[in-house]
Amino acid sequence: VFTNKLQLLSQGKRPDGKRLAFLDHVLASHDARATLSEHEIKEELRTLIWAGSTTSTDFLSFFFIMISMLPDIQSKIHEELDVVFGEERTRPVDHADLQHLQYLERCIKEALRMFPPVCTWGRQVKEDVKLPSGWVLPKGSVAVVVPYAVHRNPKWFPDPERFDPDRFLVDNCTGRHPFTYIPFSAGSRNCVGQRYAMMNMKSLTASVLRTFTVLPDPLGPRTFQEIPITIGLSMVPTHGSRVRLVPRRTAAERAAGSG
């Protein structure tokens, strides 16, 4: 696909009469300015696909286990979803809907704080860096960052084991160093797929939670600390997302049931 599209562009042919895909935009930019090599473009696309899909799926496994243990939080999410969607349980989620799901977004951010799917990543040090502790990271070494540990530092997130979506209210984020919350990395080499990933996670969680109430597995973990974790390319619940889904009743169904 990449090679065919690049050949069409080199021949002066561009997609016509249809919506452009992300790859079309990237290649058009490459054709105009050549700021990235073909190899770099391929690597960025691989990152986008992996970070925006695989890690999102891994995260959602954690999210639904967590939300099943938090009935009060889940109830607030349901209230927000009912305001946005009303009784529509099957209408596709669109971009305008996502803009109104602020509480759900804060819940996703808080779950990402506690269980970031990419729980470690590295950066090559370009010059000697002296840390506040006095240790020196020599040029050419690799500095390993562990978001899981950073996110649970009580200096930045008081009572870090408590699930609190309000940590991400605008007023509560003011003054917090941007590198203390890094589920998508940070800086000039942050995750290219983070916006797509957030939209994807909001769409999927909204679709599930406006239709179902999520209850914990009777034989599963009772607390976050009991969730078994496996770490590979990303961090995942060892036994997957074992929860129970109970269909939510509409207002008409509730009224009929009470009658």
Measured at the alpha carbon of residue 62, what is the angle toward residues 240 and 227, in degrees to the nearest 5?
Answer: 70
What DSSP state is assigned to residue 183? B
Q: Are 228 and 131 in contact (CB under 8 A)?
A: no
- Specify which residues 231 forms β-bridges with: 235
Closest listed residue to residue 156, CA positions, set 135, 178, 134, 187 = 178
Q: Maximum CA pair distance of the chain?
A: 74
Beta-carbon contacts of residue 56 (< 8 Å; ≥ 6 apart): 117, 197, 200, 201, 204
Q: Are 15 and 26 in contact (CB under 8 A)?
A: no
What DSSP state is assigned to residue 161? T
What DSSP state is assigned to residue 228? -
Helix or strand (DSSP H, E) at 215: strand 212-216
Can you tell me the distance from the alpha carbon of 114 to that of 107, in angstroms, rounded to the nearest whole number?
11
Beta-carbon contacts of residue 53 (< 8 Å; ≥ 6 apart): 200
Residue 119 marked ligand-binding: no
User: Where is the binding site, in residues?
Assistant: 191
User: Where is the binding site for heme, in residues?
Assistant: 191
